[in-house]
A and B are shown apart, each in its own frame.
Chain A
């Protein structure tokens, strides 16, 4: 050794690093070593290059940057000796991966080494190529590898076979070149070559249908025979594991047979006997034997039907399932998931055992079992299974509750035979794990409750009881508060009593107490508090005896720092104070929510998640409305479809869609001079300077903290802000109708266009109003047709009217010519113009647009600019 070398030995460096007590010390040692290595690299030191690289590999393993050593690998690979090459290739595989440019530089060295006279050097090159080659290298070196498949030494042939697998994965086009040499590997006796040859053939079949056809014809019988020989082979100490000769080869061959037999009756037929033999003869007391049985079962399940074999396979799984080894139970559950499509009946027999597995202490097993139970549920067993799952929910781990709750909700929604059962189960879930329930789930529950008019009383009483016990579950609180607000009178007077219920005595004050608790609980979030506020308003008219207290409660939030609560508080307070005469109509019960619309929206928004693995159709949220109305109908919201739901008769769909009836009423010349500060009606309609729709939208945004809520309908619900004024048109007294007269055309036009998207006021200034109506052409969801209408609100005539619009890059905009360039004054006429917007990021980004309007008034050029950001979200 060179006495002048400054570097430490690898062993000493590792010792030094291990001796470090703190991370800082370790960093210091590494820094010193790296500096020495860099210096050595700069000096181009030959003698210690391999030692330095070994050190770098260790440093790399500890997670420190080592990119500066990459070139050293290449130098070592290019040197002539075996020891240098060995460490060089190891470094190459460790420090680099296929995406680094440096790797290309090694192609030439690899090519030389693949042709080297020393077979161990060939082996090193094959190993490196097989582990990290990129597509380009695969293309360049494929001929060499192909040649090496016929090399004299079997150890090179097996390496070449695995290397070919990598090459085919990177460049599937090359598959056909390998078919013939691969086929000849299958005839060998050397286990290493056979095992790799079988794997190569399996891989080839995956990438090339021709190869599959070829091997099916030529090799099926040969493989069956080899496997038979293997199964019956005498004791071979070199390959023996737990009394079985080479279980690895068994498994690879079974896998290959699976590929050959899938979808081909003849090939399947050919392998029946040997599969039966493996399934019956393999010892199952050791892991190796079980691994073979597991593979065999999978092959039996995948190949073409042979009744007897399948019975055998299911029985093996049954045995696995009752095994005490967790690993075996896990794979059994895994395989039963696949078996369920083949033979559901047989899997059902193991239901109780599977259900036990859901309660296992092992998270992996629980997860598998839950997935399986989910697939096992059908109309006939939904009740007992749900009962079991919900009982388990009470004792389940916190981290498992999320998954479990989601699955229970989904099962209940999909298979519930009747509404009362659905409501009962949902209430149980909400009281047990309300904090894990997703927003759309409790939204769906409210829709169902609202539709089950005979169960309103029952539900509100059940919720009242549940609230007493589990008031910490957020979504339970929300549903309870909503129902008490709507059906509080039924709670107090025991209306709609069912036979199964015990009567309870609830006073009006008790009901208000509940809402009071909900709003005052400090961990209630804004949505809950806002919903509670509305419930209070509603109760104030239902319970006259408590109205004083309610008024006081509401007034407490007048100074709330949360804008939404403050606004509600002030508005509700003035409704109660000044508008007793119309309050009762104003806070009437919500009209029945349209289930079909809700389902349609949900289905339309999340189609992928609903069609679960067993290919179920769109799931309906409850068992009652199972009318399989076509989706198109569900989505078509034209007003004829809408059942007139309540006496108030207002077209609630429009409210729900945010088609705000208050969109139009700003009439500058209105003879309705507001008495300052007192006229709540105007407040209610939000006749302010901001366009009302925008208000609603922002309120929804604040309230619905669920980002991808499928139900704008229910956003409207939970944010039943005064702005949406749901009953307003029907409720107002005579003089107000005048006020609303102005909006009639607007509403009508929204109806006519029949689209799901409400019109918006895109821009409004003192002198000009622009409204957008939307429509979609069938078949191109990205494209939206916008029908823009310009109205002149000033008394003067505008001439040379030009409208311009600009959009960000992900949008494309096409403007048709306008219908005119002169706009008469005082709203007496309009110009229309059509825009076509294509959203390239449809579903991800929403429309936005900048507007510029130029016109002439009295020979004066006027320019107005604005931005439209209140487009309906799903355009």
Chain B
């Protein structure tokens, strides 16, 4: 299973963290510190796996961002690379050639997409299209709710004038 997902910028700033195994707040920051130290220092041609405390961190760099997923010893590392790529492609499709700033200002969207892709540290959906469709449907639910709210508040605002 995937124990956690980290997005770390080239400068070591955390852009997203998702924990599927219980880690306390203290452990979380320690994990991030240790792993980002190991991953950011690795050269570009080296393999994408780092062994760490009996687990394996699989990472891949996309522009200025490192996507990292931590898995069990016996899991398939190559597949996890493919999952990371899958996620990036969905993000790319959603934001339209995604960049780091998109993920900073819309971090919650990145989480929503991740939640459509993974649950309990396991893969949920192998179709990018399905994920995009589900996210779009939920976004439109939010939009309609907002419109309703604003129209009602308009009505009230006008009524109280």
Residues of A whose CB lies within 8 Å of any CB of B are 11, 14, 18, 54, 57-58, 61-63, 65, 81-83, 86-87, 90, 93-94, 97-99, 120, 123, 126-127, 130-131, 155, 158-159, 162-163, 165-166, 169, 191-192, 195-196, 199, 238-239, 241, 246-249, 251-252, 255, 287-288, 290-291, 294-295, 298, 326-331, 334, 361-365, 367
Q: From residue B87, how far is it (CB to closest CB) to chain A in Å? A: 12
Instruction: Establish whether residues A130 and B120, one from each chain, have CB atoms under 8 Å apart when the complex forms.
Output: yes
- Pick from B43, B81, B125: contact of A158, CB below 8 A: B125
- Pick from B48, B86, B123, B145: contact of A81, CB below 8 A: B145
The closest CB in chain A to the CB of B104 belongs to A14
Q: Tell me whether B34 is interfacial, beta carbon within 8 Å.
A: no
Q: Tell me whether B23 is interfacial, beta carbon within 8 Å.
A: yes
Q: From residue B38, how far is it (CB to closest CB) to chain A in Å? A: 9
Q: Tell me whether B155 is interfacial, beta carbon within 8 Å.
A: no
25 contacts between A and B (CB under 8 A): A11-B105, A54-B108, A57-B108, A63-B14, A65-B25, A81-B145, A94-B111, A97-B24, A192-B127, A196-B123, A199-B123, A238-B129, A249-B126, A252-B123, A287-B78, A287-B81, A291-B82, A295-B79, A326-B45, A326-B47, A327-B49, A328-B78, A330-B49, A362-B46, A365-B47
Instruction: Establish whether residues A238 and B50, one from each chain, have CB atoms under 8 Å apart when the complex forms.
Output: no
Residues 102 to 142 of chain B near chain A (Cβ within 8 Å)? 104-105, 107-108, 111-112, 115, 119-120, 122-130, 134, 137-138, 141-142
A123 and B116 CA atoms in complex are apart in Å by: 9
Residues 61 to 108 of chain B near chain A (Cβ within 8 Å)? 76-79, 81-83, 85-86, 104-105, 107-108
Tell me whether A327 and B48 are in contact in the complex, defined as CB-CB below 8 angstroms, given that A94-B111, A163-B119 are known contacts: yes
Instruction: Establish whether residues B141 and A248, one from each chain, have CB atoms under 8 Å apart when the complex forms.
Output: no
Interfacial chain B residues near A241, Cβ < 8 Å: 82, 86
Tell me whether A120 and B76 are in contact in the complex, defined as CB-CB below 8 angstroms, given that A61-B17, A62-B14 are known contacts: no
Q: Other CB < 8 Å A-B pairs besides A247-B79, A327-B78, A329-B47, 10 of them?
A: A11-B105, A82-B141, A86-B138, A97-B22, A166-B120, A196-B124, A246-B126, A248-B86, A290-B78, A327-B48
Instruction: Establish whether residues A97 and B23, one from each chain, have CB atoms under 8 Å apart when the complex forms.
Output: yes
Interfacial chain B residues near A126, Cβ < 8 Å: 119
Instruction: Establish whether residues B120 and A287, one from each chain, have CB atoms under 8 Å apart when the complex forms.
Output: no
Tell me whether A327 and B146 are in contact in the complex, defined as CB-CB below 8 angstroms, given that A61-B107, A291-B82 are known contacts: no
A11 and B17 CA atoms in complex are apart in Å by: 20
Q: Tell me whether B55 is interfacial, beta carbon within 8 Å.
A: no
A364 and B52 CA atoms in complex are apart in Å by: 10
The closest CB in chain B to the CB of A99 belongs to B22
Instruction: Establish whether residues A120 and B137, one from each chain, have CB atoms under 8 Å apart when the complex forms.
Output: yes
Interfacial chain B residues near A238, Cβ < 8 Å: 127-130
A735 and B127 CA atoms in complex are apart in Å by: 96
- Pick from B112, B119, B127, B146: contact of A239, CB below 8 A: B127
Most chain A beta-carbon contacts within 10 A, residue among B16, B85, B124:
B124
Q: Tell me whether B29 is interfacial, beta carbon within 8 Å.
A: yes
Tell me whether A83 and B82 are in contact in the complex, defined as CB-CB below 8 angstroms, given that A162-B122, A199-B123, A248-B126 are known contacts: no
How many residues of chain B are within 8 Å of chain A by beta carbon?
A: 54
Interfacial chain B residues near A298, Cβ < 8 Å: 76
Instruction: Establish whether residues B17 and A248, one from each chain, have CB atoms under 8 Å apart when the complex forms.
Output: no
Instruction: Establish whether residues A288 and B82, one from each chain, have CB atoms under 8 Å apart when the complex forms.
Output: yes
Q: From residue A130, how far is it (CB to closest CB) to chain B in Å? A: 4
Interfacial chain A residues near B77, Cβ < 8 Å: 327, 330-331, 334
The closest CB in chain B to the CB of A251 belongs to B79
Tell me whether A90 and B108 are in contact in the complex, defined as CB-CB below 8 angstroms, given that A126-B119, A291-B81 are known contacts: yes
Q: From residue B147, how far is it (CB to closest CB) to chain A in Å? A: 11
Q: From residue A476, how far is it (CB to closest CB) to chain B in Å? A: 31
Instruction: Establish whether residues A155 and B16, one from each chain, have CB atoms under 8 Å apart when the complex forms.
Output: no
Tell me whether A57 and B107 are in contact in the complex, defined as CB-CB below 8 angstroms, given that A238-B129, A362-B46, A362-B47 are known contacts: yes
The closest CB in chain B to the CB of A83 belongs to B142
Q: Which 10 A-B pairs have the closest CB atoms?
A: A291-B78, A326-B47, A162-B119, A130-B119, A166-B120, A362-B46, A248-B126, A130-B120, A83-B142, A291-B79
Instruction: Establish whether residues B111 and A83, one from each chain, have CB atoms under 8 Å apart when the complex forms.
Output: no
Instruction: Establish whether residues A192 and B141, one from each chain, have CB atoms under 8 Å apart when the complex forms.
Output: no
A57 and B107 CA atoms in complex are apart in Å by: 9
Q: From residue A746, how far is it (CB to closest CB) to chain B in Å? A: 50
Interfacial chain B residues near A11, Cβ < 8 Å: 105
A291 and B29 CA atoms in complex are apart in Å by: 31
A57 and B83 CA atoms in complex are apart in Å by: 25
- Pick from B14, B47, B83: contact of A61, CB below 8 A: B14
Q: From residue B123, how far is it (CB to closest CB) to chain A in Å? A: 6
- Pick from A81, A163, A195, A294: contact of B76, CB below 8 A: A294
Interfacial chain B residues near A361, Cβ < 8 Å: 43, 46
Interfacial chain A residues near B50, Cβ < 8 Å: 364
Q: From residue A218, how far is it (CB to closest CB) to chain B in Å? A: 23
Instruction: Establish whether residues B145 and A82, one from each chain, have CB atoms under 8 Å apart when the complex forms.
Output: yes
Instruction: Establish whether residues B119 and A367, one from each chain, have CB atoms under 8 Å apart when the complex forms.
Output: no
Interfacial chain A residues near B81, Cβ < 8 Å: 287, 291, 327
Instruction: Establish whether residues B141 and A330, one from each chain, have CB atoms under 8 Å apart when the complex forms.
Output: no
Instruction: Establish whether residues A14 and B127, one from each chain, have CB atoms under 8 Å apart when the complex forms.
Output: no
Q: From residue A735, how far is it (CB to closest CB) to chain B in Å? A: 64
Instruction: Establish whether residues A192 and B124, one from each chain, have CB atoms under 8 Å apart when the complex forms.
Output: yes
Most chain B beta-carbon contacts within 10 A, residue among A62, A81, A163, A329:
A81
A670 and B83 CA atoms in complex are apart in Å by: 85
Interfacial chain A residues near B105, Cβ < 8 Å: 11, 14
Instruction: Establish whether residues A90 and B111, one from each chain, have CB atoms under 8 Å apart when the complex forms.
Output: yes
A87 and B119 CA atoms in complex are apart in Å by: 17
Instruction: Establish whether residues B82 and A247, one from each chain, have CB atoms under 8 Å apart when the complex forms.
Output: yes
Most chain B beta-carbon contacts within 10 A, residue among A11, A98, A298, A330:
A330
The closest CB in chain B to the CB of A61 belongs to B14
Q: From residue A745, how far is it (CB to closest CB) to chain B in Å? A: 55
Instruction: Establish whether residues A127 and B119, one from each chain, have CB atoms under 8 Å apart when the complex forms.
Output: yes
Interfacial chain A residues near B138, Cβ < 8 Å: 82, 86, 120
The closest CB in chain A to the CB of B79 belongs to A291
Residues 7 to 22 of chain B near chain A (Cβ within 8 Å)? 14-20, 22
Instruction: Establish whether residues B14 and A195, one from each chain, have CB atoms under 8 Å apart when the complex forms.
Output: no
The closest CB in chain B to the CB of A67 belongs to B25
Tell me whether A364 and B111 are in contact in the complex, defined as CB-CB below 8 angstroms, given that A97-B19, A192-B127 are known contacts: no
Instruction: Establish whether residues A195 and B82, one from each chain, have CB atoms under 8 Å apart when the complex forms.
Output: no
Interfacial chain B residues near A162, Cβ < 8 Å: 119-120, 122, 124
The closest CB in chain B to the CB of A294 belongs to B78
Interfacial chain B residues near A326, Cβ < 8 Å: 45-48
Interfacial chain A residues near B15, Cβ < 8 Å: 61
A255 and B76 CA atoms in complex are apart in Å by: 10
A249 and B104 CA atoms in complex are apart in Å by: 32
Instruction: Establish whether residues A131 and B126, one from each chain, have CB atoms under 8 Å apart when the complex forms.
Output: no
Instruction: Establish whether residues A165 and B76, one from each chain, have CB atoms under 8 Å apart when the complex forms.
Output: no
The closest CB in chain B to the CB of A154 belongs to B130
Interfacial chain B residues near A54, Cβ < 8 Å: 108
Instruction: Establish whether residues B111 and A330, one from each chain, have CB atoms under 8 Å apart when the complex forms.
Output: no
Instruction: Establish whether residues A248 and B83, one from each chain, have CB atoms under 8 Å apart when the complex forms.
Output: yes
